[in-house]
Amino acid sequence: MVSVFRDTVSSPGVGFVSVIQASAFWGAVLLPFVYVPLLVVGLDALDRQLLFAALVSLNIILLVIGHAHRS
């Protein structure tokens, strides 16, 4: 435990990258749950279609950033 803390303190950038990757990973896991209400309501309006496209794009970005989490 102490060696992990020492490594994080000696190279704080690594800890920051780890936090970003973990956040992106869990964001990519949880974001699809936002799709469900949007799909239930329907994608008949242009603003809903654009929101859905933006959410899917964000999910892809989060997947790319977070793919190395815990690997």
pLDDT in tens, 1-54: 444 444 444 566 678 888 899 999 999 999 999 999 999 999 999 999 999 999
Structural domain total, the chain:
1
Range of the domain at 40: 2-66
pLDDT given for residue 13 in this prediction = 67
Residue 71 belongs to a domain: no
Residue 13 belongs to a domain: yes
Residue 62 belongs to a domain: yes
Residue 25 belongs to a domain: yes
In terms of C-beta density within 10 A (0-12 exposed, 13-18 middle, 19 or more buried), how is residue 7 classed? Answer: exposed
Identify which has the larger pLDDT, 36 or 71. 36
pTM (two decimals): 0.75
